[in-house]
Amino acid sequence: MRQNNQSPRPGRRFITPFFAGFGLAVAVAASLSPGVANAQDAEYAAIQQAIQQTAGAVVQIETIGASASQGELTLGAPISGTRIDDQGHVLTSLWGLEETPASILIVEADGSRQPAELVARDFSRELVLLKTKPSGSANHVALQRSEKVRVGQWAIAVGRGIAPETPSVSIGIVSATGRMYGRAVQIDARISPSFYGGPVVDIEGEMIGISVPMKPEAGSAGEKSDWYDSGIAFVVSAEAIASRIDQMKAGKDIRAGKLGIVPASKMPFSDDRTLSAVLALSPAKRAGIQADDELLAIDGEAVRWNADIKQLLGPRDAGEVLKIKVLRDEKELEFEVELAADIPAFRPRVLGVLADPQGESLEITHIFDDSAAAKAKLQIGDTIQAIDGNKIDDIDRARLLVMTHPPGEDLDLTVLRDGKPLDVRCDLQSTPDTVVAELPELKDPIGEEAWEIVPRSLPDVSNTSRLLKPKGDARPSLGLLVLLARPGTEKLEPLAEAWRSEAAEHQIAVLVIGAAETDRWKPAESDVIVRLIQQAQKAINVEPQQVVVAGYGAGSEMSMMVAMRNRELIRGAVAAAGSRPGGFALSENDPASPLQFLVVGGDEMPIWGRMIANVGFPVLQAPSSEKEPLADDPKIQDTVGRWIRSLDRI
Amino acid sequence: MNNKIRCMIVALLATLVLNTATLRAQYPVKKTIQDARRKVVKVYGAGGLGGLEAYQSGFLVSPEGHIATAWSYVLDVDPVVILDDGRRFEAEVVGFEPQLELAVLKIEAGDLPYFAIREVPPTQAGQPVLAISNLFNIATGREPASVMQGYVAGVAELDARSGVFKSAYQGEVLILDLVANNPGAAGGALVTRAGELVGMLGKELRDARSGAWLNYALPATTLRPRLLAIVSGEAIVEPPKTELLARDKSHNFETLGLLMVPNVLDQTPAYVDAVVPKSPADAAGLRPDDLILLVGKVRIENQDRLLEQLRSIDRRDPVPIVLQRGSEILSLRLVR
């Protein structure tokens, strides 16, 4: 095989895309001639050519004084950067630059360093624009492409994060476009953090875009670098960058645009385009969009399925103005909406009633003391028919409309009492910060002796678990308390046994899960826990609003991480006041999958408790003794039981 | 477009596809893989407890049964080697090079296929390569090792002293763009599409800065002289270890006249708080609020790293420092 011994020399841009195309043509022609080795040579030469053309524009980015962990990885290691003009502008990844470090340095191929200032960040696309002294050299990439990116074409990632003096490359193909809700091109080249911020080019040396770690939604749970080196990597397209670069050069940060609507359906391919709620103080609310509107189009693009909503809104920035077309009372209406960077945190509102989730109608079965419902003189037996003029016969819809009701505005209820409709006006409350004291009697309680503890496991992991559940085949509706054992706990049985009377008292199944290792819970075990919960949901009839995770020792921190990262599944987490949670991105409470916390042990609200309360999560506290509150304090156990049962209130 | 032309185009395309397909069949890589797989062996030894795999890979480097592999706990017992055709041998360790984490095993056999240890041109980023190893112990008994394809991502220094990689090996490695370093892959062969040996797959290693798993191979050019020496029966010499010097022999903040900002964070940047008058730091022109970036070639991420670096420099030697002052980068030498 012919060796190309000339190492790439930065700064030589002696080949135009036209010639690169010519090179590719030669490669294709060669592959059809008998000299097959030449095809490989041509391919190799073309790749080398593309690297040489690009490498001069790639620099190393060093940060001083930034260090934090992101799941398995640590921030603060050098990454790559891409020069985009001759005025000293360098694009890089937001990885490690979410907070401004003490110093940002640009390291050139010759090892020289110069300080850079941070000009602007694009929080939606995970990019940062830096500025340093003009380089004087013409080494930069062009953000224009001569043709659209095609799936299947070569994708060559170039970086300098490993060592500044030699460029590193990772080679693959374009896997998809319009990924991550329309914000990224996907490539199959293995991209490790050292490549973040570097360019990805095609075989002709034209920019495809910039490598970044990305999650489906900015600010959603989980680590954006989880997929490093996996053959799934993301690139912000040159086109998306070019259309925003002037804004960034002017020092304006870019954030994902928020509309503030809650689609009724949770299924991506549901053709139900109805909105079940519109967030208070949101752009959608201000524009006049209402719950029950059917979303027809976003900026002229038809919405066919629920999934289209995220796909169409995903690439939009705060400040962009969109036209939203809806169907209301069989009339098409169009609204102009300016997307916002932030919508004030959603804080769930409550009415304070229970209704039978399996019931035919929304008949009120219990009214909590001192609740908005009690003050409005609602009665047990009233059947809710409409909320704010929207007809309601589904408990989840009712809960969502109440939860997202604007603070300071009264809620208008229509109930059926003694066969007659009655209008009631209620002044809603925020979620109370104490656990409800009184609960209604259970309809068909199952005695303690009729509960059994059965082993549960998954075929491919070493974690074991025990499930405390009612015996027999009857499938009563149950809450589910997931308990993560202290790492190194040898016997899980006693932990489940300790909850027997509480389980019977409140009809809550208990799933105790042991850690795989004796000294810690690993973040990756989050998936195992989710799978064990899903497995339990198949075996017993779990009320979706009553799935709660808690833990002992390190299991307490783990339970918070699992809850934060899996909100579509989990509604509550119990955490010890002394625990130090981490491993998740703190993002706002989401009305589509709301989450609450109960802090046990200690008398003081921990700092992290206040932090999560600030972004809209209800955080309740149950003060307790010095004992292990979840293991040997019956009072706390009872509080946890009552809390779980109160989670499906409206 | 009329139908006739359309048919012709379809036919032409089909021929092109067929042509490339038949050409694929004679692709020389196929022969490379056939030959190279016969030279890669499976090594079994100690381990098997607490998440340590009791297996790794190796490759033949002489016709009489010398095998290059990674020096690891697997070799704590006399290892068993299984060739690609399923033949099983008790092997003995005949040499090792702790600095390269290289070991050479010997089995009693002859006339074996092997990788010739010869000069190869230096490898560079973008070079297509094949990695052949028994990763995850997928190949058992008579099954040959697994083959993966990818490219050399770059050439980089593994420098344990700079704390970048916690590895005994220090020197150049080939970073790979394929996920080659998995349990059992260490000691596997990295070859070009023409079948030339260019490296030995390294052990599982994390980048100490980012925590990311690394995919790398030790270049054949580095292994070559040591392999030749061991195969020809030369003795092995232990390399000297670099260590921190004694406190009274090395530099520290006091010897240089540096007062640093209080070290309160786990990553306190190395900011100068004050400079003792007439000290080496003063003479070199250091000022309060300077941020120390490098000592010699070592990156200073935090104050602890700065002290550690100073502790490895003899008091009689000057200390080369690169620092940031506002938006300037300055190089200074501190001399006692």
As annotated, the residues of chain A forming the CATH 3.40.50.1820 domain(s) are 449-645
Encode pLDDT of A267-294 as tens digits: 888 999 999 889 888 999 999 999 889 9
Q: What percent of chain A has pLDDT over 70?
A: 91
> Which of A192, A196, A224, A460 should we substitute to test contact with B (largest number of B Cβ atoms within 10 Å)?
A192
Averaged pLDDT, groups of 10, chain B, 336 residues long: 45 39 54 94 83 88 96 87 94 85 92 90 90 92 91 81 57 90 94 94 83 90 90 58 75 93 82 94 94 83 87 91 86 91
Question: Whole-angstrom Cα distance, residue A472 to residue B212?
Answer: 49
Tokens representing B183? Answer: 């349990």
Place of tokens 């919405």: A303
Q: Does residue B261 belong to the interface with chain A, where contact is any CB pair within 8 Å?
A: no
Place of tokens 């080939």: B174
- Tell me if A1 and B213 make a contact (CB, 8 A cut-off): no
Cβ partners under 8 Å of residue B91, min gap 6: B43, B67, B78, B79, B80, B81, B105, B106, B107
Do A131 and A117 contact (CB within 8 A), yes or no?
A: yes
Q: How far is B308 from chain A (nearest CA, A)?
A: 17
Give A624 or A451, the one with higher predicted confidence: A451
A1: which chain B residues are within 8 Å (Cβ-Cβ)?
192-194
Average pLDDT on A232-237 reads 96
Encode pLDDT of A490-526 as tens digits: 999 999 999 999 999 999 999 999 999 999 999 889 9
- Tell me if A190 and B215 make a contact (CB, 8 A cut-off): yes
What's the confidence (pLDDT) of residue A16? 31
Angle between helix A525-539 and A554-565 (nearest 10): 70
What would the 3-class secondary structure string for A500-562 be? HHHHHHHCEEEEEECCCCCCCCCCCHHHHHHHHHHHHHHHCEEEEEEEEEEECCHHHHHHHHH
- Tell me if A36 and B27 make a contact (CB, 8 A cut-off): yes
In the stretch 209-248 of chain B, residues with CB closer than 8 A to chain A read: 209-213, 215
**pTM for the predicted model, two decimal places:** 0.73
Q: Which residues of A458-477 are buried (b: 16+ CB within 10 A; e: fewer)?
A: eeeeebbbbbbbbeeeeebe
| Second-level CATH architecture of A349-430 | Roll (2.30)
Q: Which of B110, B97, B39, B106 is nearest to B79 (CA)?
A: B106
- Tell me if B267 and A162 make a contact (CB, 8 A cut-off): no
What's the confidence (pLDDT) of residue B12? 41
> Which of A41, A60, A74, A107 should we substitute to test contact with B (largest number of B Cβ atoms within 10 Å)?
A74
As annotated, the residues of chain A forming the CATH 2.40.10.120 domain(s) are 54-217+226-250
- Tell me if B175 and A36 make a contact (CB, 8 A cut-off): no
Q: Which domains, ranges and CATH numbers included, belong to chain B? A: 29-232 (2.40.10.120), 253-334 (2.30.42.10)
Q: How far is A576 from chain B (nearest CA, A)?
A: 25
Do B81 and B41 contact (CB within 8 A), yes or no?
A: yes
- Tell me if B329 and A113 make a contact (CB, 8 A cut-off): yes
What's the confidence (pLDDT) of residue A136? 65
- End-to-end CA, chain B: 86
What's the confidence (pLDDT) of residue A625? 66
What's the confidence (pLDDT) of residue A389? 85
Q: How does the average pLDDT of chain A come out, rounded?
A: 87
As annotated, the residues of chain A forming the CATH 2.30.42.10 domain(s) are 261-339, 349-430
Give B121 or A188, the one with higher predicted confidence: A188
Question: Whole-angstrom Cα distance, residue B98 to residue A648?
Answer: 63
Which residue in the set B28, B124, B293 is minimally distant from A105, CB to CB?
Answer: B293
Phi, then psi, of A40 in degrees rounded to 5: -65, -40
- Tell me if B128 and A69 make a contact (CB, 8 A cut-off): no
Residue type, A27: A
A228: which chain B residues are within 8 Å (Cβ-Cβ)?
212
| Second-level CATH architecture of A261-339 | Roll (2.30)
Question: Whole-angstrom Cα distance, residue A533 to residue A549?
Answer: 10
Q: What percent of chain A has pLDDT over 90?
A: 63
Q: Does residue B122 belong to the interface with chain A, where contact is any CB pair within 8 Å?
A: yes
| Second-level CATH architecture of A449-645 | 3-Layer(aba) Sandwich (3.40)
CATH 2.40.10.120 fits A54-217+226-250, yes or no: yes
- Tell me if B124 and A7 make a contact (CB, 8 A cut-off): yes
What's the confidence (pLDDT) of residue B300? 83
- Tell me if A8 and B125 make a contact (CB, 8 A cut-off): yes
What's the confidence (pLDDT) of residue B157? 81
Do B212 and A73 contact (CB within 8 A), yes or no?
A: yes
